[in-house]
Structure 1
Amino acid sequence: MLESWRWYGPFDKIKLTEIAQTGASGIVTALHEIAYGEVWPIELIRSRQSEIADSGLGLHWAVVESLPIHENIKRGEGDLAPLFANYRQSLANLAACGIHTVCYNFMPLIDWTRTRLDAPVSRGGTCLRFEAHEMAAFEVHMLKREGAEADYSPEVLEKARAWHELSDENARQALLASIMAGLPGAYDRYDVEGLRRALERYAGIGRAELRANYARFLAEVVPAAEELGMRLCVHPDDPPRDILGLPRIVSNEEDIAWLLSQQRSRANGLTLCSGSLGANPANDVPAIGRRFADRIHFAHLRNVRKDPDGSFEEAAHLEGDTDMVALIAELVGEERRRRAEGRRDWDIPFRPDHGHELLSDVGRGTHPGYPLIGRMRGLAELRGILRALTHERARFT
Structure 2
Amino acid sequence: MKQTWRWFGPKDLVSTDDVAQAGAEGIVTALHHVPTGTAWTLEDIRKRQDEIGRMRDGAPSGLRWEVVESLPVSEDIKKQQGAWRAHIANYKTSLRNLAEAGIEVICYNFMPVLDWTRTDLAWRLSNGATCMRFDLIDFIAFDLNILKRPGAEADYDAAQLDAAARRFAEMTEAEAEQLAGNVVFGLPGAAENFSLEEVRAHLAEYAAMPEETLRSHLVDFLAEVAPVAQELGLRLCCHPDDPPFSLLGLPRIMSTEAHYRAVMEAVDLPANGITLCSGSLGARPDNDLPGMMERLGDRVHFLHLRNVKRESSEVRGSFHEAEHLGGDTDMVALVEAALREEARRKATGRADWSIPFRPDHGQDILDDLGRRAQPGYPSIGRLKGLAELRGIIAALEPRVAAE
Contact 2:16–2:54 at 8 Å: present in 1 too? no
Give 1:167's match in structure 2, choosing from 166, 171, 175.
Answer: 171
1:330 Cα offset (Å): 0.7
Query: In the alignment, which residue of structure 2 is the partner of 1:335?
Result: 342
| CA drift at 1:343 | 1.6
Partner of 2:101: 97
Once the two structures are superposed, what CA deviation does each residue of 1:312-362 show, in whole Å capped at 9, x if it has no partner?
011100011000000011110011111111122111000000000001001
> Which residue of the partner structure matches residue 14 of structure 2?
14
Deviation at 1:82, TM superposition (A): 1.5
**What's the CA shift for 1:201?**
2.5
Is 1:176–1:191's contact at 8 Å kept on the other side of the alignment?
no
Displacement after TM superposition at 1:6 (Å): 0.1
Q: Output aligned runs, 1:237-316, within 5 Å.
A: 237-308=241-312, 310-316=317-323
Identity value in percent: 51
Question: Does the CA-based 8 Å contact 1:305-1:312 persist in structure 2?
Answer: yes
Equivalent residues of 2:340, 2:400 under 8 A apart: no
1:165 Cα deviation after fit: 0.8
| 3-state SS, counterpart of residue 370 of structure 2 | coil
CA deviation after TM superposition for structure 1 residue 53, in Å: 2.5
Q: Which sits farther off after the overlay, 98-107 or 362-371?
A: 362-371
Please give the secondary structure, in 2, of the residue aligned with 1:62.
strand
- Corresponding residue for residue 24 of structure 2: 24
Q: Quick check: 1:227 aligned with 2:234?
A: no
CA displacement 1:94-139 (0-9 Å, x = unmatched): 0001100000000011111000011112222101000000000011
2:36 paired residue number: 36
Match of residue 52 from structure 2: 52
Q: CA deviation at 1:79?
A: 4.5
What secondary structure, in the 3-state scheme, does the structure 2 residue paired with 1:87 have?
helix
SS across alignment from 2:280: helix
SS of the equivalent of 1:314 reads strand
- Give how far 1:158 is off: 1.6
Match of 1:377 in 2: 384
In 2, are the aligned partners of 1:63 and 1:101 still within 8 Å (CA)? yes
Q: Gaps (5+ residues) in structure 1?
A: none
2 CA distance for matches of 1:14 and 1:340? 38
| Residue 11 of structure 1, CA deviation | 2.8
Report the equivalent of 2:154: 150
Note if contact 1:357-1:373 (Cα within 8 Å) is conserved in structure 2: yes
- Scaled by the length of structure 2, what TM-score is found? 0.96
Aligned mates of 2:267, 2:194 — CA distance in 1: 35
Match of residue 4 from structure 1? 4
Tell me whether 44-53 or 93-102 shows the greater mean CA deviation.
44-53
Deviations 1:289-334 (A, max 9, x none): 1110000000000001112261001110001100000001111001
- In 2, the alpha carbon distance for the partners of 1:222 and 1:233 equals 10
TM-score, structure 1 as length reference: 0.97
Counterpart check, 1:320 vs 2:361: no
Matched residue type, 1:314: E
Give the structure 1 partner of residue 212 of structure 2: 208
Work out whether residues 95 and 230 of structure 1, in 8 Å CA contact, stay in contact via their aligned partners in 2.
Answer: yes
The one of 185, 188, 191 aligned to 1:181:
185
The CA deviation at 1:198 is: 2.7
Instruction: Name which of 357, 363, 373 aligns with 2:370.
Output: 363
TM-superposed CA distance for 1:54, in Å, is 4.3
- 1:253–1:288 CA contact under 8 A, matched in 2: yes
- What secondary structure is seen at the aligned counterpart in 1 of 2:226? helix
CA contact (8 A) 2:283 2:310 kept: yes
Q: What corresponds to 1:83 in structure 2? A: 87
Number of the residue aligned with 1:128 = 132
Deviation (angstroms), 1:72:
0.2
After superposition, the Cα gap between the structure-2 partners of 1:79 and 1:17, relative to the gap in structure 1 and judged at 3 Å, is: closer
Residues 189 and 82 of structure 1: CA distance in aligned 2, closer, same or farther (over 3 Å): closer
SS of residue paired to 1:280: coil
Looking at structure 1, the residues matched to 192 and 159 of structure 2 have their Cα atoms a distance apart, in angstroms, of 33
Is the 2:303–2:357 contact (alpha carbons within 8 Å) kept by the matching residues of 1?
yes
Letter of the aligned partner of 2:43 in structure 1?
A: E
Structure 2: distance between partners of 1:265 and 1:198: 32
SS in 2 for 1:175: helix
1:269-300: CA deviations, max 9, x gaps?
A: 00000000000111111111111000000000
What is the SS of the residue equivalent to 1:11?
Answer: coil
Map Cα deviations across residues 137-184 of structure 1 (whole Å, 9 max, x no partner). Answer: 011122121232233333222211011111121011100111122222
Aligned partner letter, 1:347: S
SS at match of 1:128: strand
**Amino acid of the residue matched to residue 268 of structure 1?**
N
- Code of the residue aligned with 2:398 in structure 1: it is H
Worse-matched range after superposition: 115-124 or 245-254: 115-124
Alpha carbons 1:225, 1:231 under 8 Å: kept = yes
